[in-house]
Structure 1
Amino acid sequence: MTDTMEAPARRAAVEDEGASPRRFRLPHLSHRRGDLIAALFFVAPATLGLAVFLVWPTLRGIYFSFTDYNVFTPAQWVGLDNYVRMVQDPEFWHSMWVTVQYVLVNIGVQTVLAVLLAVLMHRLTRSVFVRSVMLTPFLVSNVVVGLVWLWILDYQLGIGNKFLEWIGIGRVFFWGDDKLVIPTLALITVWKFLGYTALLIFAGLQTIPEQLYEAGRLDGASEGRMFRSITLPLLRPYLAMVVILSIIGSFQVFDLVSVTTGGGPVNASQVIQMEIYKAAFGRFEFGYASAMSVALMLVLLVITFLQYRLSRAGSSDLA
């Protein structure tokens, strides 16, 4: 009789135990579903902007690169004709070579000066005011920077040439000399982005433990030796990121060249973006301009991949 009475009680207990996980699981799933909906709500604007202003134009540009398209008539499929023309076009290769020269001067000078400036800030001062002043040129638009330096370096009226003449060097034809125009543009870009690049490297310096420098001083290492053996190796991921971003931005230079030289003199500053712009909006060859844009995108993808792999940017020596 007792066993008969205990059996329903045990079954009820087992049923309650089996029901408990379901009773607690449902609110948990509902909470996670609410988090997912909230996350999608916040991500949706950025995703929509990315799709509308980046993914869709990229796909359309790739499609137009295989067509003959001039806006006034429907696009006609021509296959690889635009790419064959591009490979055989000396103006395309000239603009690529000019861009490479600009990139080499800009990246080389900017990276070296940014590292030195970041180390000086890290060693001498960490003032927020100093960092704010350094960032000021970066906040000015490229068009304004170009117009200001166009006046400063003007051969006749520029204050820069007035100063060079005052110290005895003489006036320099910065914008009219085909050998000086690319270094001039590159150094103006260095002036604009140096503070921003130095702050990125400065942030990387703050992740290096101070104990490593203290151990180096105890071992009698000089500042130069610690810079070569501690600072540079541990900065490698940050330097790789800075160089990759700078290369991508340098290959896309357009507004600075457009407001200063327009590609001159005698196409000496005809960077690839200017060539693409002139093909698209000067000659209305949007198919050919799209092909050059796709080629530039592939070049940047290859450079970024090689730079990332060779510099081992995804790993740190601190690990």
Structure 2
Amino acid sequence: MKYIDLHTHSTASDGSFSPSKVAMLAKSADMKAIALTDHDTMAGVEECFKMGLQLDLPVIAGVEMSCVYNSKEIHILGYLLPDNFPAKNLHIKDEVLADLEFFARERADRNAEIINRFKKDGIIISMDDLIGSNPHTQITRAHFADALIKMGIVADTSEAFLKYLEYGGKYIPVKKITTKRCMEFLTKHHFFISLAHPFQYKFSDTQLESLLSHLINSGLNGIEVYHSTHSDEDKKKLNFLAKKYNLFPTGGSDFHGAHKPGLNIGTGYGDLKVPYTILEDILSQNKY
């Protein structure tokens, strides 16, 4: 059997490994294809793609968009599928990158608000504390967690999220980007679109199906059936929903390196296996 990983992160957002290193780790894990899906950015894709060419590892250009649905943050994966696979050249239009700047500005404004909220409580976090040696990274809550750990305020990432970084909590404002705005961007540029880790949002069955219906009406193509946190029962439920709503199953580890200890590229927490046939089905149907 051949396996893939269509959900990975690098230092272009909140992963701990460079885009090149992500490709190398994937190759070492015997992945037959990966997608780099950093948060609201595709800045690391070219580096990862070039390393993939050297390693004979197909790399798909991807992104994980963050948006709000019914006051909850949800994540939507977008993939720029090549006309011919595996691609020998990377084609990301300048307009795609230009449109992504809107989301980057929104994220920057929100990060400034988070910094200000911490400051009011006497916790001084600078931009230098957040970006470290990577000035082009997209700052996420994981960066704030790292800063809090280095300052000695918390012992680890789990404590940071529990005490300080809860979405919609005292320090973390609810995002302003709507699902409508994200889907408009993704459909405009002909991404293949999949809902990431559907059970992470803790919706009821009815709420999850309402979300799916809402996104399908806006151009959703797939649903992430395979994920490091999904049990066999979870995968069974999601495969049922995929068939019910005529969606393609997708899957990936959600690899972040050191920011998610014990979660490895390709295999997640040890038993993740995303079949290569998942990608073959997406490419053969050309439904995007």
Under TM normalisation by the shorter chain, which class is it? under 0.3
Higher helix proportion: 1
TM-score by length of 1: 0.25
Larger radius of gyration: 1
Greater strand share, structure number: 2
The TM-score, its normalising length taken from structure 2, stands at: 0.27
